[in-house]
Structure 1
Amino acid sequence: MAMDDFPIWRRPRHYMDAGDANDHVHWVELFFDLIHVVTIFILGNYLSHHLDWQGFWVFTGLFLAIFYAWADSSVYNSLYISTDMPHRAVMAVQIVTMMVIAASIPDVTGAAWPYFALGYALNRALTSHLYWRARCVGAESGALAREQGRNFFVLAALFAVSAFLPRPLAYWVFGAGVVLIQLQYMLPGVGTLRHERFVPRLGHISERFGLLMLILLGEGFFKLVLTLTDKGIDKVAPGTLFNLAMGGLSLFALAWIYFDSAGNAQPKRRTNPTLLAYWFAHIIILWSAVMVGVALAGEVYVGFMEPYPSGYGAIGTVGLATFLTALWVLQRLVAGRDITCRYHSGGVRLFGIAVALIVLVIHPAVPAIIGNLLWGVALFSQIGVPLYRAVRDKRQPARAS
């Protein structure tokens, strides 16, 4: 075997130029994904400690910033197959930047802001370097890598400047940079979506989205268990333990309906409208999954008869309604799920959304057992109704024969 065939020496190649390209996620990417376990966990803790409008908007802004740090790396790795030593070194430093970002989140609106902004700026600069390197080693002869390298370098400078500006101006400049991350892909005539070679491996991207969904839902289990251990499992009532079990089952149910309906499935068409709808629907559904995971930690604070904590209840009901709405959109965009869509129909999704919104209105005034029951109806109907329909259709041919 030639030395160049070893992964640690294999320079970046655009997947369209590689005969051995596949959609599987490389171990370096998986490691990068797992680092986001810590980041999202701390972000969820931030939301649970700031259950007001300001905390909600800070959480949403930070989620988008962290999502793009993950997504831009995923897009690069989907376009260019890169496993050599320089690439691994860059990914290792990006992992360190995520550690700094995660450690800055609890006090991001205070003394930790410069650390967060500078860590994020370095993360963007490293993404810029990856694209410039792809161009320098001949993986991209067109303008795609050059433009992406330039765009992320400018964005990195903008984020770095925001670390030293007075607040709230610093937040506005940083937020503008986060918006520009998306616009540099989408803007007509100048966005990188116009390049023919800017077509990520859709199977690779869908697998990365599926892995991230599992990570985010797993955060909900961590929050439930850690909240209970902090309170003391021997100090809670049986009703709280029942709530805990239902919270765990609810997270499993969210994964169930996502993967049955849209998870790991590729978009039906490679047109820009379809790809953008697929992209934005995933941003929304991942954001809502984090909110539901945070909200379920509230199960540890109540028994059966007291009302569910209002802050947790609000983000949990809005999160579930948003999750089901985004899933409804996604299942209509992906290929290979036509049978699933027949069972997971729009009517089922609409029923779950409506019940979740009813709980949003009434949960402060009713016992937690009532609110949980209705919220559970909204969620578990998304499994029960499709299962009933599937069993009914399976039995009909048998009866006819």
Structure 2
Amino acid sequence: MALENHPMWRLPKHHLDHDDAHDHVHWVELFYDLIHVVIIFLLGNFLSDHLTVNGFLAFAGLFIAVWFAWADSSVFNSLYVSTDVKHRLIMSCQIVTAMVMAASIPHVLDKGWMYFALAYAANRMITAYLYHRTNRLGVEATVLSRTVSRNFFILAIVFAISAFLPEPFNFLLFGLAIVSIQLLYMLPKVGVLECKRFLPRLGHMSERFALLLLIVVGEGFFKLVITLSEKGVYKVTPEVLFNFMFGGIAVFVHCWIYFDFVGNGKPKNQEKWTLVNWWLAHLFLMLSAVMVGVALAGEVKVGFWDPYPLKYGAIGCIGLASYLLCLLWIQFNIEERIAHRFATAKVRIFGVVLALATLLVLPYVPALVGNLLWGTALISQIAIPVTRAYLTFSKEE
């Protein structure tokens, strides 16, 4: 076998030029996702330690930045089938940058900022190099890879500069650069989405979204288990154990409603704004999932009869409402499924309204009542569609 025919030495190739490109995620990409288990956990810890408006805004900004770094790398791997030795070595360097970003998160608002910003800049520079490499090798004959490489290279320099600026200018410059990345994708005429070759493997990206969603939602399990283990499982009351198990079921149901109704779903068409909506809806869905995961740690901090911890309850109720709205947002932008007949907008809005109503009464009712209301908002999202589907299909039979 010639070297160029073996995956270890085959040059990157745009999937449209590939004879047998498939949508399955390569193990190198899965390994890159692995570090994001730690990043999401540390982001959740950051939010737990900063349950204020400013703390939430800082958490949201960090999450969005990390998510875009992950997503931009995923888009490259979706556009260009890359499995050769050099690509693997480059990805190993990108994994190291993500490790430094993760380690910086607990102290990112003070002495950790420089390390986070420089690691982020290096991460963006590596993505720029991945595109530059396809251009240099002649893999991409259009302006696509050259344009994206230039954009990321310039923004990597901006991110690096933000590492050395005083507050609040460091955060402002970093935030502007994050916004600029998305504008350079989406702006009419000059945005990369205008390029016909900028068409990732949609099935591949759907699978990447689904895998990251499992990581993000799974953070709720981390929070629950670690919080209980630190308290001592043998020390808590049966009420706390019940709340703990309820929290575990809630995490499971979050995954259930995602995978049954939108998981691995491809966009309904290849129009620019359909792709943009699909992309942004997944970003805010995962941000909401982390909020819920952090809120569930409150289950181990209270019994049945005391009010649920208000700060945890607030992010849990808002997070659930946002999660359901994002599910609906994705549902509108993907191919039609049979399940969509039963998971209608009315079902989602019912859950959203009940979640927000729970937030209003949370300080005045026992945690048992709060959990009942919040749990109804969540579990209705699977119970109503499944019941409707069973009755409908039974009659058709």
TM-score, normalised on structure 1? 0.98
Structure 2 distance, partners of 1:240, 1:70, is 36
- 1:158 touches 1:177 (CA, 8 Å); kept in 2? yes
* 1:233-252 → structure 2 map (5 Å cutoff): 233-252=233-252
2:18 is aligned with 1:52: no
Structure 1 distance, partners of 2:241, 2:78, is 43
- The match for 1:373 is 372
- 1:328 touches 1:349 (CA, 8 Å); kept in 2? yes
Describe the superposition over 1:209-242 as per-residue Cα deviations: whole angstroms up to 9, x where unpaired.
0000001111110111001001110111111110
- The match for 1:341 is 340
Structure 1 distance, partners of 2:151, 2:329, is 30
- The match for 1:387 is 386
Give secondary structure in 1 for the equivalent of 2:8.
helix
Give secondary structure in 2 for the equivalent of 1:329.
helix
- The match for 1:26 is 26
Give secondary structure in 2 for the equivalent of 1:175.
helix
- The match for 2:109 is 109
Counterpart AA for 1:169? F
- 1:359 touches 1:371 (CA, 8 Å); kept in 2? yes
* 1:80-95 → structure 2 map (5 Å cutoff): 80-95=80-95
- The match for 2:204 is 204
Structure 1 distance, partners of 2:220, 2:354, is 22
Instruction: Give every structure 1 segment of 4 or more consecutive aligned residues whose post-TM-superposition deviation is greater than 4 Å.
Output: none
Structure 2 distance, partners of 1:96, 1:307, is 43
Aligned CA-pair RMSD: 0.8
- The match for 2:276 is 276
Unaligned runs of 5+ in 1: none
Deviation at 1:397, TM superposition (A): 3.3
Give secondary structure in 2 for the equivalent of 1:233.
coil
- 1:121 touches 1:159 (CA, 8 Å); kept in 2? yes
* 1:323-362 → structure 2 map (5 Å cutoff): 323-337=323-337, 339-362=338-361
* 1:63-74 → structure 2 map (5 Å cutoff): 63-74=63-74
- The match for 2:131 is 131
Counterpart AA for 1:191? G
Describe the superposition over 1:64-107 as per-residue Cα deviations: whole angstroms up to 9, x where unpaired.
00001100000000000111111111110110001100000001
- The match for 2:5 is 5
- The match for 2:226 is 226
Unaligned runs of 5+ in 2: none
* 1:284-323 → structure 2 map (5 Å cutoff): 284-323=284-323
Structure 2 distance, partners of 1:63, 1:208, is 17
- The match for 2:37 is 37
Give secondary structure in 1 for the equivalent of 2:234.
helix
Structure 1 distance, partners of 2:340, 2:264, is 15
Deviation at 1:395, TM superposition (A): 2.1
- 1:332 touches 1:341 (CA, 8 Å); kept in 2? no
Deviation at 1:394, TM superposition (A): 2.3
Give secondary structure in 1 for the equivalent of 2:180.
helix
- The match for 2:265 is 265
- The match for 2:160 is 160
Structure 2 distance, partners of 1:191, 1:41, is 33
- The match for 1:120 is 120
Q: Matched residues, percent identical?
A: 56
TM-score, normalised on structure 2? 0.99
Structure 2 distance, partners of 1:4, 1:189, is 37
- The match for 2:191 is 191
